[in-house]
A and B are shown apart, each in its own frame.
Chain A
Amino acid sequence: MVKLIIDGRAVEVQPDQNLLQASLSVNADIPYFCWHPALGAVGSCRQCAVRVYRDDDDQVGQIVMSCMTKLREGMRVSIAEREVAALRESVVEMVLANHPHDCPVCEVGGECHLQDMAVMTGHSGRRYEFQKRTHLNQNLGPFIKHEMNRCIGCYRCVRFYRDYAGGDDFGVFGSRANIYFGRASEGALESPFAGNLVEICPTGVFVDKPFSKKFRRKWDMRGTASVCGHCAVGCNVTLQEREGELRRVVNRYNDAVNGYFLCDRGRFGADYVQSEHTLRSARLAGSAELAVNEARAALARVLATPDLIGIGSPRASLESNFALRTIVGPENFYLGIHDTAYDMLDVAARLIRSARMTVASVRDVEQADSVLIIGEDPSETAPRLALALRQAGSAGVHARANRNAIPLWQDISVRDNGCETPGALMIMSPAATELDDVAWLTLRVRPDEAIARAAMIAHAIDPQAPPCADMPGIMPMQVEQMAAALLAAERPLIVVGCMTGDADALRAAANIVEALMRRGKQARLSFIAPEVNAVGLALLGGGRMSACFEPLAAGSANIVVLENDLYRRFPHDLLDRAFKQAGSVTVLDHIETQTTAQAGLVLPVASMAESDGIVVNQEGRAQRFYKAIFRQTPSLPAWQLLRDAANIGDWPTLSALVRVMSGTVEGLEHIVEVGLDAAFRIEGIQPASQPHRYSGRTAVNAHHDVQEQAPPSNEYSPFATSMEGYHGAQAGVPVPFFWSPGWNSVQSVNKFQSEIGGSLRHGDEGVKLGGQDQDSSGYWPVTISPAEPAVLLFIPCLPVFGGEELSALSPAIEARMAVPSASMNIHTAALHQITEGATMDYVTQGACMRLVTEIDDHLPDHVVQIVAGYPGQPPLPGPVHGQVRHITARADG
């Protein structure tokens, strides 16, 4: 710790910070624009000036930019000194000289960092009388609205977009007073992290476009802590609601998971809860809508039958899955995921339970200094994790800065200082990934070849690891090089996911981690699970789906499907057959899917935004989400619907169910510590979820009924649904909205952190499960099943926008979905006489896809990458062999 004297007050702060960060951490406010805890300091806005004195005798001191100033023991600083305060005020005045007079029609007004800083410096009157500079705007796509007049030239946007998130289609143009932040030509921002510009920009240059259409000021929306439901990273989000409508999704800081940033799929993909695809009413096949009571009675009749089969879901909460599992019996409960994902999740669940294996959090990923990615493209399956991997990619840059004693917050100096070689990232994947530009080694190999190399690397690191038979085309030197890079690191990380479609990839990855640990490294594993609660489902346990289809073939079983579109996962003919043979098919879901279309009885249930529950992310972190949207005619959460229909008395409340679950399921013992109990009170009062200046209370429903309605109640959450209750940070209470006096923008998160850019003062959300199995050291057997040579191998590509089920139903995401296509390299295309742009039939077992062909020379020979996961597309759960057919004239006709 370093001792500082700020305006006569003695404080102690962490040494590795700049003066601005240190002052903010002890509640000494200095206005700033260009500095950001995650981006470091560049000293471009000149706003954070303070006076620093040389020693105790110095009465004059000198004015410095606090963000560019290193800490010194006993440093004497003045923020309040008259001259430096006047300087800061004049800087704001000059920044505002060209700022347009448009706060009333700016979506950021009221939560604007520029407004806050203007108030903080005390600037109030405009003296500049000459013309204001103006700019033309660009159309930046369906996510972001551009209003360049508001720009104050702090450079945060380019620093985030280019330096932090690795985008290259956005930049700064012009010179001196002309600088312009935008694209070379109009068009959608390509980076899947562009949405963060809304929170990064200190003013309103970049605005959330879908939010603008249902705009409300920050103080007018109820904030609810939730978890993003679009991938297994489980980023913490705040859902902001008003009048029963989800208005927008904003980042909720969690140091261990998402930090300051979200991906665009999470930010703009939540509108599926109120789209045309939302399932609102119950129905029987071939008949009209069912009334609520009739539907529940019908469900009760189904659940009373003997031959029940329950199919769970990786996108439903742990509670709902557990309720179904209990009702149908654990032996009749199937996980509802494809067998390849099942096998991987089975291994993943064992690794999470193991006390020896450390599964990396996103924060750990960011801090890894050597990373090997096996057969996965994290930028598609876990975008937020890919952003963390990109930061890990600059581990070499940080190492060199450390060697030259450059503080890591000195952003430009650190970048200009160069990189230690080799860098940190090694990628083995069949197709090019978004992370290739920060990787020092990229190998374009088939999944089986990637697994073989991984097995060899483990063996090269520790000869006790199972060896792997030689495969043609693998250079031992390359394997040794990768092993050496991992061994040279302190905190190596192995990343693997489901794209390989082979549980051996995960076993081989676990073997590398084990081998590295035996060599004394602090090695970690990151497994990219397929969906939001896939790991939770695996920890809960159940049968594999191939086993489920057997009793179905015997006939007459009654299937209950929970929030799962099986038609996205299994061949359609197989499902059609199974459903025909089944006694009855009941589907509980919150969206219309192909499965609900085939079901006999369909019941609407509450989505994640409309219910409370727990999901488990890929590192085994159980996180609670709270009910955010209150409708006039709400759907019940699935667990409650099932409980009432099956007449189970053990779970009067959600907490009771969680207690039962923690007592019965091995590995979920700590689940009772997740989130807040509904009975939780602070000094006897509920925490409030609306800001205290929530408006329109007595007019909002006055056109229906002039008598004011009571605020909606939620029996499963401790949060008051109104502004009445406890405001402010409390231990264990997820923050419904970040706000602090004088800090109306998202920058107010500073006031909730124990140190700036560190964990929240009252602890980060979530409870990490697992780690209880002691006897789990040792190597896994790895078998390589080589792909057949010279036969086409179809590998799935799951685009960030459209490759995920729920977000694809969101209008903003829909606008960014491309036409599905198939890619192969030029040799493979020539071999099969395919030309670029030709529409071909790509045939694999049980599915035929008519797709436009693209040439991508990154792909290995005989590999076809197929864009999968779009709504209505046949399932492609992993790499499969297939063939390509020319469309005959007859087929066309």
Chain B
Amino acid sequence: MYIYSSLRTLWFTFLHLFHKTETIQYPEQKPYLSPRFRGRIILTRDPDGEERCVSCYLCAAVCPSDCISLQKSSIEGDWTPEHFRINFSRCIFCGLCEEACPTSAIQLTPDFEMSEYRRSDLVYEKEHLLISGTGKVPDYNFYRVAGVSVRGKAKGEALNEAPPVDARGLMP
């Protein structure tokens, strides 16, 4: 029995000689990573080129390693973050922030090459995180469906919204 098991193992190992090889010559050769790979985190923009992040703090709240810190802008009516910081030396790339994000602003990308010699270099600020494009979600614009008025969109102009009611109207 013991001999049979050893021989069988040797045989299967031998068979691997004829399998397709999975090893690639990284870093000269790059592996294919699917778009939903959970690597470096980015902040994206909406199709109009505005920042998508609305500082709702849900990513920070859901982060199990508490490595996201942000602050809503102090300008009235403006919800873009004043600062947005991710400490990648603490990030575990779980992707919960992406799942929690109601505006698809925060997304994980197939980039994992983030090694640094100093831990402090792994602290990314908003300018390091923000990209110019929409990332994986090409056409979602939160403000087009949300009922708040923002620059360039008045009340009643969002998707599926009636014009503002006239509280003084006498018509039934």
Interface residues of A (CB under 8 A from B): 99-105, 109-110, 129-137, 145, 147, 149-150, 173-180, 182, 209, 212-217, 219-220, 693, 695-700, 702-703, 705-706
A198 to chain B, nearest CB (A): 16
Complex Cα spacing A109 to B57, Å: 10
B1-9, B43-51, B86-94 - interface stretch: B86-94
Closest B residue to A700 using CB positions: B69
Complex Cα spacing A212 to B74, Å: 7
Contact residues in B for A214 (Cβ distance below 8 Å): 72, 74
Complex Cα spacing A656 to B163, Å: 66
Assess whether A695 is in contact with B63, with CB atoms less than 8 Å apart. Answer: yes
Assess whether A696 is in contact with B68, with CB atoms less than 8 Å apart. Answer: yes
Complex Cα spacing A173 to B57, Å: 35
Closest B residue to A180 using CB positions: B167
Assess whether B165 is in contact with A213, with CB atoms less than 8 Å apart. Answer: no
Contact residues in B for A700 (Cβ distance below 8 Å): 69, 85
Contact residues in A for B163 (Cβ distance below 8 Å): 134
Contact (A132, B161) CB under 8 Å given A101-B147, A702-B69, A706-B123: yes
Q: Most chain-B CB neighbours within 10 Å: which of A105, A109, A110, A147?
A: A105
Interface residues of B (CB under 8 A from A): 54-58, 60-61, 63, 65-72, 74-76, 79, 85-87, 89-90, 102-103, 119-120, 122-123, 125, 142, 145-149, 155-156, 158, 160-169, 172
Assess whether A104 is in contact with B54, with CB atoms less than 8 Å apart. Answer: yes
Q: Which of A178, A216, A702 contacts B123 (CB 8 A)?
A: A702
Contact residues in B for A173 (Cβ distance below 8 Å): 167-168
Assess whether B146 is in contact with A102, with CB atoms less than 8 Å apart. Answer: yes
Q: Which of A136, A213, A216 contacts B57 (CB 8 A)?
A: A216
Contact residues in B for A131 (Cβ distance below 8 Å): 160-162
Complex Cα spacing A176 to B169, Å: 12
Complex Cα spacing A179 to B158, Å: 21
Complex Cα spacing A696 to B123, Å: 13
A571 to chain B, nearest CB (A): 41
Apart from the given pairs A132-B147, A174-B165, A702-B85, 4 other A-B contacts in the complex at a CB distance below 8 Å: A103-B56, A104-B58, A109-B56, A699-B86
Complex Cα spacing A130 to B86, Å: 40
Closest B residue to A214 using CB positions: B74
Contact residues in A for B155 (Cβ distance below 8 Å): 134-137, 149
Contact residues in B for A697 (Cβ distance below 8 Å): 66
Assess whether B89 is in contact with A219, with CB atoms less than 8 Å apart. Answer: no
Assess whether A132 is in contact with B54, with CB atoms less than 8 Å apart. Answer: no
B47 to chain A, nearest CB (A): 17
Q: Most chain-B CB neighbours within 10 Å: which of A174, A175, A214, A698?
A: A698
Contact residues in B for A209 (Cβ distance below 8 Å): 76
Closest B residue to A697 using CB positions: B66
Assess whether A134 is in contact with B60, with CB atoms less than 8 Å apart. Answer: no
The 16 sampled A-B contact pairs (Cβ below 8 Å) are A100-B158, A102-B146, A102-B147, A102-B148, A150-B147, A173-B168, A174-B169, A214-B72, A216-B71, A695-B57, A696-B68, A697-B66, A698-B90, A699-B86, A703-B85, A703-B123
Closest A residue to B148 using CB positions: A102
Assess whether A695 is in contact with B164, with CB atoms less than 8 Å apart. Answer: no
Assess whether A136 is in contact with B69, with CB atoms less than 8 Å apart. Answer: no
Assess whether A100 is in contact with B57, with CB atoms less than 8 Å apart. Answer: no
Assess whether B86 is in contact with A178, with CB atoms less than 8 Å apart. Answer: no
Contact (A703, B63) CB under 8 Å given A149-B147, A149-B148, A149-B155: no
Contact residues in A for B75 (Cβ distance below 8 Å): 213
Assess whether B89 is in contact with A104, with CB atoms less than 8 Å apart. Answer: no
Closest B residue to A100 using CB positions: B147
Complex Cα spacing A175 to B172, Å: 8
Complex Cα spacing A215 to B82, Å: 11
Contact residues in B for A150 (Cβ distance below 8 Å): 147
Q: Which of A102, A103, A175, A695 contacts B68 (CB 8 A)?
A: A695
Complex Cα spacing A135 to B155, Å: 7
Contact (A220, B74) CB under 8 Å given A215-B55, A700-B69: no
Contact residues in B for A104 (Cβ distance below 8 Å): 54, 56, 58, 102-103, 142, 146
Contact (A213, B74) CB under 8 Å given A134-B147, A149-B147, A178-B165: yes
B61 to chain A, nearest CB (A): 5
Assess whether A180 is in contact with B87, with CB atoms less than 8 Å apart. Answer: no
Complex Cα spacing A214 to B90, Å: 26
Complex Cα spacing A179 to B66, Å: 43
Complex Cα spacing A500 to B14, Å: 104
Assess whether B146 is in contact with A100, with CB atoms less than 8 Å apart. Answer: yes
Assess whether A695 is in contact with B145, with CB atoms less than 8 Å apart. Answer: no
Assess whether B76 is in contact with A212, with CB atoms less than 8 Å apart. Answer: yes
Contact residues in A for B164 (Cβ distance below 8 Å): 134-136
Complex Cα spacing A857 to B40, Å: 72
Complex Cα spacing A178 to B166, Å: 7
Contact residues in A for B148 (Cβ distance below 8 Å): 100, 102, 105, 147, 149
Closest B residue to A177 using CB positions: B165
Contact residues in A for B67 (Cβ distance below 8 Å): 696, 698-699, 702
Contact (A220, B57) CB under 8 Å given A699-B90, A702-B87: yes
Contact residues in A for B87 (Cβ distance below 8 Å): 698-699, 702, 706
Complex Cα spacing A511 to B54, Å: 62
Contact residues in B for A699 (Cβ distance below 8 Å): 66-69, 85-87, 90, 123
Complex Cα spacing A147 to B164, Å: 12
Complex Cα spacing A614 to B63, Å: 39
B101 to chain A, nearest CB (A): 9
Complex Cα spacing A406 to B71, Å: 51
Contact residues in A for B56 (Cβ distance below 8 Å): 103-105, 109
Complex Cα spacing A110 to B122, Å: 30
Closest B residue to A128 using CB positions: B160
Complex Cα spacing A798 to B149, Å: 39
Assess whether A698 is in contact with B66, with CB atoms less than 8 Å apart. Answer: yes
Contact (A180, B102) CB under 8 Å given A102-B146, A220-B61, A699-B66: no
Assess whether B162 is in contact with A215, with CB atoms less than 8 Å apart. Answer: no
Assess whether A178 is in contact with B169, with CB atoms less than 8 Å apart. Answer: yes
Q: Which of B68, B102, B125 contacts A703 (CB 8 A)?
A: B125
Q: Which of A101, A212, A215, A217 contacts B61 (CB 8 A)?
A: A217
A183 to chain B, nearest CB (A): 11
Q: Which of A145, A180, A215, A705 contacts B72 (CB 8 A)?
A: A215
Q: What are the 9 closest A-B residue pairs judged by CB atoms, nearest first? A: A100-B147, A180-B167, A104-B56, A696-B69, A699-B69, A695-B60, A697-B66, A699-B87, A174-B167
Contact (A698, B57) CB under 8 Å given A102-B146, A134-B164: no
Q: Which of A100, A101, A136, A695 contacts B66 (CB 8 A)?
A: A695
Complex Cα spacing A178 to B147, Å: 16
Complex Cα spacing A700 to B69, Å: 5
Contact residues in A for B76 (Cβ distance below 8 Å): 145, 209, 212-213
Contact residues in B for A217 (Cβ distance below 8 Å): 57, 61
Complex Cα spacing A175 to B169, Å: 9
Complex Cα spacing A575 to B66, Å: 55
Closest A residue to B86 using CB positions: A699
Contact residues in A for B156 (Cβ distance below 8 Å): 134
Closest A residue to B57 using CB positions: A217
Q: Which of B68, B86, B120, B166 contacts A706 (CB 8 A)?
A: B120
Contact residues in B for A696 (Cβ distance below 8 Å): 60, 63, 66-70
B19 to chain A, nearest CB (A): 43
Q: Most chain-B CB neighbours within 10 Å: which of A109, A110, A135, A150?
A: A135
Assess whether B102 is in contact with A103, with CB atoms less than 8 Å apart. Answer: yes
Assess whether B65 is in contact with A134, with CB atoms less than 8 Å apart. Answer: no
Assess whether B145 is in contact with A101, with CB atoms less than 8 Å apart. Answer: yes
B11 to chain A, nearest CB (A): 50
B139 to chain A, nearest CB (A): 16
A214 to chain B, nearest CB (A): 6
Contact residues in B for A110 (Cβ distance below 8 Å): 57, 61
B93 to chain A, nearest CB (A): 14
A283 to chain B, nearest CB (A): 30
Q: Most chain-A CB neighbours within 10 Å: which of B89, B147, B156?
A: B147
Complex Cα spacing A45 to B71, Å: 36
Closest B residue to A104 using CB positions: B56
B41 to chain A, nearest CB (A): 12
